[in-house]
Chain A
């Protein structure tokens, strides 16, 4: 089984540690992981801004990069959702490739939970951690149950975090409120975006978080921006880094 590692552009550029942790976590499971060098971006920033018609170049590139692997795994729910929902081929002849990719792409925590079905991890992280449920992973990929629905609760990321020794998962007042990043929303609607981010940070701080984690680095980048501006000691850490650490 060959796993294609998909590292979103901004993770590649700003958060290589999250990418390394993802790679190492997968390798620890005895998987063969390849990282196609020609990857850039899934195209979501354009598509969510209304420019989906400009994303065919990204689509073509993505298909070239990942057409030969069995699974594609990525430490970003949002980018995975975009590929799942919107990747399509330029020509009908290539559509089976696009279909294969859409079916075989997984966000890291759902891959560990649903495909590898891992039940334990050798990880230790002796801190109070707040879990930020990123909307696209949660409501799009359904990696955890949504508070709006009358349905059995579950959370794939939390299930993994509970395998980590000495990690204390804190409760939040609003367990799945959006952080306000929203791609280009964060600058086109700066006032609301920043306010949403501040409120999300506040919920974590009020409940004693020492770290804020999540399955989507973009939300964490936004929350980190707020924390740093507030000179807070609280840090953000991608869930892969926690699951891959033995502190």
Chain B
């Protein structure tokens, strides 16, 4: 029988040991959500743009094989070398082979959630290759030897004092200096030296355009451009779902992406890479790693529309109070919870349950992914596949029986008694998690059923 993992509740509980920190985390992300709202409200056509983006992405999913072939053909014409990786392992091996051909053992990398998903850093480190992440937030979590906790704001869980301490240890800044301006300036100097000396740069890809064979990378810091333009070899790693059909579709997506992510009207840089510069090598690695499988899951394929803005995390009341690491997956939050079980049902069986199904994620999603409905549907799949704890299964079967048999329910349920004993959320026992921080309602003298019998008997339908 498959073992059940229930990690999110335990990790979230740990995060909640420090309530002040939870408040700070929640408020910081809520502030980002509020900025998103403000940006969205400046465009009267916002909801129409979301529809357009969703429709374009649906067309992409329906024609993905054709668009991939078209993209490859155009990219090759542009002088870009195209690689195909069926899974994370192959992706990592391709990157390594390019490095080996160059005889290079150091590189800079701008933010790429795909390389996080493939665990490229760990892989390369084991091969003796040094990877420097150049996005400030990613560099901070790299120094802390942690994964990013958010796809757009990688170190949103860290306080500036902790970052000051990390920089003191690793970059030699004065102890106790936690000023964001000062720390950013220190990182600028530290990373500029890397940009100027590394011969290989890896970037992610925000959008790849079938029509032209080019790809677009969006950053605020300019790190992808600094890396790519100063390196002799540029490797861009992308999931196959990042394609869009036409260049002009960028008009829709670039209007939505950053407004949804941080509330900015657009990122500082939206760079269009079409050809390597003279003398430079440019590679694209097209990665499947389960995406074609997810494409075949009717209920879950819409998750492949995701443009990685992170809005669902910022709005998620559970994410804000449990932190990104509680999702133990490269991509945290609501979208991560519908992507992860596709990668591995057993390891991520807990994630679709880490939600109240409030639906706020679905409403902020710029490509209109039905995130909370997919969470519900994953729960059904996971239970059917045998990933439910035995105790929960027994409780549910008991509930199903009682609720299907009104007479038994009446007998069992004499004003709350059955509920107090059986229903998961009200088991009347101090070991029950309900009672840790909440009280139960006092059972009334009589149920509505009994009151009705007494007062409105004539209308009752037996």
Residues of A at under 8 Å CB distance from B? 7, 9-17, 19-20, 23, 32-41, 43, 45-55, 57-58, 60-61, 65, 135-136, 139-140, 146-151, 174, 176-178, 180-199, 221-222, 224-226, 228-229
17 of the cross-chain contacts (CB-CB < 8 Å) are: A9-B419, A10-B423, A12-B448, A14-B444, A37-B406, A37-B449, A38-B462, A49-B383, A51-B396, A54-B399, A65-B461, A148-B364, A150-B47, A181-B356, A189-B353, A194-B438, A224-B441
The reply to whether A184 and B424 contact each other, CB–CB distance below 8 Å, is: yes
- Chain A residues with Cβ under 8 A from B22's Cβ? 195
- Asked whether any CB of chain A lies closer than 8 Å to the CB of B59, the reply is no
The reply to whether B424 and A187 contact each other, CB–CB distance below 8 Å, is: yes
Closest CB in chain B relative to A223 CB, distance in Å: 9
The reply to whether B353 and A196 contact each other, CB–CB distance below 8 Å, is: no
Cross-interface CB contact of A191 among B16, B355, B359, B380, cutoff 8 Å: B16
The reply to whether B400 and A58 contact each other, CB–CB distance below 8 Å, is: yes
Chain A residue at minimum C-beta to C-beta distance from B442: A14
- Chain A residues with Cβ under 8 A from B356's Cβ? 135, 178, 180-182, 185, 193, 196
The reply to whether B47 and A149 contact each other, CB–CB distance below 8 Å, is: yes
The reply to whether A48 and B404 contact each other, CB–CB distance below 8 Å, is: no
Cα(A49)–Cα(B356), bound, Å? 11
A34-B459, A185-B356, A195-B22 known; A51 vs B400 contact (CB < 8 Å)? yes
The reply to whether B317 and A226 contact each other, CB–CB distance below 8 Å, is: no
The reply to whether B438 and A229 contact each other, CB–CB distance below 8 Å, is: yes
Cα(A24)–Cα(B409), bound, Å? 25
The reply to whether B439 and A34 contact each other, CB–CB distance below 8 Å, is: no
- Chain A residues with Cβ under 8 A from B461's Cβ? 34-38, 65
- Chain A residues with Cβ under 8 A from B433's Cβ? 186-188, 190
- Asked whether any CB of chain A lies closer than 8 Å to the CB of B382, the reply is yes
Cross-interface CB contact of A189 among B12, B40, B376, cutoff 8 Å: B12
Encoded as 1 (CB less than 8 Å from any A CB) or 0, chain B from 1 to 26 comes to 00000101100110110010010001
The reply to whether B359 and A12 contact each other, CB–CB distance below 8 Å, is: no
- Chain B residues with Cβ under 8 A from A177's Cβ? 317
Cα(A58)–Cα(B400), bound, Å? 7
- Chain B residues with Cβ under 8 A from A185's Cβ? 353, 355-356
Closest CB in chain A relative to B421 CB, distance in Å: 12
The reply to whether A40 and B44 contact each other, CB–CB distance below 8 Å, is: no
The reply to whether A57 and B403 contact each other, CB–CB distance below 8 Å, is: yes
Chain A residue at minimum C-beta to C-beta distance from B402: A40
The reply to whether B400 and A55 contact each other, CB–CB distance below 8 Å, is: yes
The reply to whether A13 and B416 contact each other, CB–CB distance below 8 Å, is: yes
Cα(A11)–Cα(B449), bound, Å? 10
The reply to whether B425 and A40 contact each other, CB–CB distance below 8 Å, is: no
- Chain B residues with Cβ under 8 A from A32's Cβ? 459
Q: Which 9 A-B pairs have the closest CB atoms?
A: A57-B404, A225-B438, A182-B356, A50-B379, A50-B383, A190-B433, A148-B363, A139-B359, A178-B358
The reply to whether B355 and A225 contact each other, CB–CB distance below 8 Å, is: no
- Chain B residues with Cβ under 8 A from A140's Cβ? 359
- Chain B residues with Cβ under 8 A from A135's Cβ? 356-360
- B196-235 interface with A by 8 A CB criterion: none
A50-B388, A190-B434, A192-B12 known; A14 vs B409 contact (CB < 8 Å)? no
Closest CB in chain B relative to A243 CB, distance in Å: 17
Cross-interface CB contact of B317 among A9, A180, A186, cutoff 8 Å: A180
Cα(A183)–Cα(B447), bound, Å? 21
Cα(A50)–Cα(B381), bound, Å? 7
Chain A residue at minimum C-beta to C-beta distance from B444: A16
- Asked whether any CB of chain A lies closer than 8 Å to the CB of B432, the reply is yes
The reply to whether B8 and A189 contact each other, CB–CB distance below 8 Å, is: yes
- Asked whether any CB of chain A lies closer than 8 Å to the CB of B321, the reply is yes
Chain B residue at minimum C-beta to C-beta distance from A134: B358
Encoded as 1 (CB less than 8 Å from any A CB) or 0, chain B from 31 to 51 comes to 000000100110110110000
- Chain A residues with Cβ under 8 A from B26's Cβ? 199
- Asked whether any CB of chain A lies closer than 8 Å to the CB of B123, the reply is no
Cα(A37)–Cα(B360), bound, Å? 36
Interchain pairs with CB closer than 8 A, number = 249
Encoded as 1 (CB less than 8 Å from any A CB) or 0, chain B from 348 to 391 comes to 00000111111110111000000000001001101110001000
- Chain A residues with Cβ under 8 A from B453's Cβ? 37
The reply to whether A174 and B30 contact each other, CB–CB distance below 8 Å, is: yes
Cα(A181)–Cα(B460), bound, Å? 32
The reply to whether A16 and B364 contact each other, CB–CB distance below 8 Å, is: no
Cα(A14)–Cα(B380), bound, Å? 29
- Chain A residues with Cβ under 8 A from B321's Cβ? 192, 195-196, 199
- Asked whether any CB of chain A lies closer than 8 Å to the CB of B268, the reply is no
A50-B388, A187-B433, A191-B16 known; A139 vs B358 contact (CB < 8 Å)? yes
Chain B residue at minimum C-beta to C-beta distance from A57: B404
Other than A14-B419, A53-B383, A195-B321, give 15 A-B pairs with Cβ distance below 8 A: A13-B447, A16-B451, A40-B402, A41-B409, A46-B399, A50-B379, A52-B380, A58-B400, A178-B317, A188-B353, A190-B437, A191-B9, A221-B441, A225-B434, A229-B439
Cross-interface CB contact of B47 among A12, A60, A151, cutoff 8 Å: A151
Cross-interface CB contact of A146 among B363, B415, B438, B439, cutoff 8 Å: B363
Cα(A20)–Cα(B451), bound, Å? 9
The reply to whether A35 and B436 contact each other, CB–CB distance below 8 Å, is: no
- Asked whether any CB of chain A lies closer than 8 Å to the CB of B322, the reply is yes
- B315-334 interface with A by 8 A CB criterion: 315, 317-318, 321-322
- Chain A residues with Cβ under 8 A from B16's Cβ? 191-192, 195
A189-B353, A197-B438 known; A54 vs B13 contact (CB < 8 Å)? no
Closest CB in chain A relative to B205 CB, distance in Å: 28
Cα(A138)–Cα(B327), bound, Å? 27
Closest CB in chain B relative to A81 CB, distance in Å: 10
A14-B443, A150-B43, A225-B434 known; A57 vs B400 contact (CB < 8 Å)? yes
Chain A residue at minimum C-beta to C-beta distance from B43: A150
Chain B residue at minimum C-beta to C-beta distance from A138: B359
- Asked whether any CB of chain A lies closer than 8 Å to the CB of B298, the reply is no
A16-B444, A52-B380 known; A189 vs B318 contact (CB < 8 Å)? yes
A40-B403, A178-B317 known; A186 vs B425 contact (CB < 8 Å)? yes
Closest CB in chain B relative to A178 CB, distance in Å: 4
The reply to whether A19 and B448 contact each other, CB–CB distance below 8 Å, is: yes
- B396-414 interface with A by 8 A CB criterion: 396-397, 399-406, 409, 413
The reply to whether B359 and A196 contact each other, CB–CB distance below 8 Å, is: no
A37-B460, A51-B400, A192-B12 known; A228 vs B439 contact (CB < 8 Å)? yes
